[in-house]
Amino acid sequence: MFINEDSILKTLTASAVPDARRIDEILAHAREMKGIGADEVAALCTISDPEQMAALFETARTIKDEIYGRRLVVFAPLYVSNLCGNECLYCAFRAKNTALKRRALTSAEIAQETRILIDQGHKRVLLVAGESYPQQGFQYILDAIETVYSVKHDNGEIRRVNVNVAPLGVEEFKQLKAAKIGTYQIFQETYHHETYANVHVGGKKRDYDWRITAIDRAMEAGIDDVGIGVLFGLADWRFELLALMQHIAHLEQTFGVGPHTISVPRLEPATGADLASHPPRPVSDIDFRKIVAILRLAVPYTGIIMSTRETPNMRRETFALGVSQISAGSRTNPGGYAEDEQMDSSQFSLGDHRSLDEVIRTVAELGYIPSFCTGCYRLGRTGADFMDLAKPGEIKLHCAPNAISTFEEYLMDYASLETRAVGEALIARTIAEMAPEAARRSQALLDQVKAGRHDVYC
């Protein structure tokens, strides 16, 4: 297996607290935007000096702004089922949790949830299901995806469905690809074998190897946009970061491209799951900021996702440290948008309860362009093709204009008057500060949206 725990532990043991000169060398290497090695990641994990921390954070901000500009991709999770046969001690969906109200949405209920998200202004969703399905089996997921894509209302629709479901075989992954999903996302939760066994005590999820190779099978099936992640708080976060680097290296060596996204959730309280309220290896706020910043240096072209598990303040702070995608207005239970969140069926508690409009306004006030863009996926700029454009910086000629056009759609169709005023001012200021070609493309798309066209992209 490609996770070598002995190698990770040796690297961590050998990583003495570096002096200022060594930190400067690592940060200078990171600013080349080609990634950094495991020993450099381990060294940055030891930082505690305020000046070194500030230098780390500033480097992460510089790299993030250079690659992604001032934009943040926005999406919402759509939970369709909390049925599960696994016994994961940290999760409310665990099979033996009698405190949880079980539910699998019908097609009509999925359509209702989708319409609510559309009417809020969303264009992207992450479809999430517990790791057991109703009587129709995996077909339930395929039908759910089809339902989401079928819903149209006024000027709105969901243009991209990403999926977070149980590990599949290659043939089932081929069916997912045929269903026109965007990204397939799955978290190992923890890469530490002993910890993994201790917290996954029943169900198919006990099989560490089957889970960790799910991404391989997805990519073998032709899904080239994949997302991975760690549930921080289960094992030593330094170990998890180095294990993530090994997983990414394996994917790059095997398939020529690493993950499209990395998620960084921390354990949050969950109904009927005591472990979630008492993390075995809790991650402090300062260490959490370090995790985000170090990841941005280590994998500069990979999207980093920040969920609504975190508080508004923590989410704001991590925007500048490397986060490029955020969920907003989230509910983590089936039917949660129609019923306005029922904790007795939610997977975990939220730290950010704000509406999409409130989040968008805050993001814009901070100077970031909220992006609902899905253009790359429909033009085939995924996987290795995306990276070929991202690494020389050419993707910005598409991403920035597309972000502005989709933001303008949101402002015209869904935003409150206050949010629209903030957003329109930001768009004008952003275009004025762009390089000529990017400004020309942005203004051309913006003019089309203002003339009544929707879903325009380059």
Whether 356 has a pLDDT exceeding 60, the answer reads yes
Q: Is 89 helix (H, G, I), strand (E, B) or coil?
A: coil
Whether 342 has a pLDDT exceeding 70, the answer reads no
Could you please report the per-residue DSSP string of 229-291?
Answer: EB-BTSS-HHHHHHHHHHHHHHHHHHHS---SEEE-PBP--BTTBHHHHS-SS---HHHHHHH
Band of residue 262 on the pLDDT scale cut at 50, 70, 90: very high
Helix axes 396-413, 436-450, angle to 10 degrees: 30
The residues near 125 (Cβ < 8 Å, ≥ 6 apart) are 75, 76, 77, 78, 114, 117, 148, 158, 160, 161, 162
Q: How far apart are CA 148 and CA 135, in angstroms?
A: 20
Give the pLDDT confidence score for residue 1 in this predicted structure.
Answer: 81
Q: Give domain status of residue 58, yes or no.
A: no
Q: Give domain status of residue 294, yes or no.
A: yes
Give the pLDDT confidence score for residue 394 in this predicted structure.
Answer: 59
Q: How far apart are CA 180 and CA 168, in angstroms?
A: 16
Q: What is the domain-level CATH number for residue 200? A: 3.20.20.70
Q: Which two tokens stand for residue 78?
A: 């759509």
Q: Give domain status of residue 199, yes or no.
A: yes
Q: Give domain status of residue 8, yes or no.
A: no
227 Ramachandran zone, left/alpha/beta (phi>0; psi -120 to 50) = beta
Q: Give domain status of residue 101, yes or no.
A: yes
Band of residue 414 on the pLDDT scale cut at 50, 70, 90: very high
Q: Please identify, among 336, 371, 406, the residue that sits at the C-terminal boundary of a domain.
A: 371
pLDDT digits (tens, 9 = 90+) for 427-452: 999 999 998 988 999 899 999 999 99
Give the dihedral sign, CA 184/262/11/280. Answer: negative
Q: Give domain status of residue 41, yes or no.
A: no
Which residues make beta-bridge pairs with 230? 189
Domain containing 80 equals 67-371
Give the pLDDT confidence score for residue 343 in this predicted structure.
Answer: 57
Could you please report the per-residue DSSP string of 355-424?
Answer: -HHHHHHHHHHTT-EEE---HHHHTT--HHHHHHHHTTTTTHHHHHHHHHHHHHHHHHHT--HHHHHHHH
Whether 340 has a pLDDT exceeding 80, the answer reads no
Q: Please identify, among 371, 404, 426, the residue that sits at the C-terminal boundary of a domain.
A: 371
How many CA atoms lie within 13 Å of 443's alpha carbon, on the beta-carbon side? Answer: 12
Give the pLDDT confidence score for residue 351 in this predicted structure.
Answer: 83
Give the pLDDT confidence score for residue 372 in this predicted structure.
Answer: 93
Which residue type does 180 have?
K
Region of poorest pLDDT, from 100-104, 264-268, 339-343: 339-343
Region of poorest pLDDT, from 120-129, 200-209, 286-295, 308-317: 308-317
Q: Give domain status of residue 295, yes or no.
A: yes
Give the dihedral sign, CA 128/133/139/140. Answer: negative
Give the pLDDT confidence score for residue 392 in this predicted structure.
Answer: 58
Quote the number of domains for the chain: 2
CA distance between the termini of the chain: 41
Quick one: 135 and 269 in the same domain? yes
Beta carbons of 320 and 303 less than 8 angstroms apart: no
Give the pLDDT confidence score for residue 455 in this predicted structure.
Answer: 87
The CA-based dihedral angle spanning residues 216, 388, 363, 288, taken in that order and rounded to the nearest 10 degrees: 50
Quick one: 185 and 252 in the same domain? yes
How many CA atoms lie within 13 Å of 119's alpha carbon, on the beta-carbon side? Answer: 9
Quick one: 422 and 350 in the same domain? no
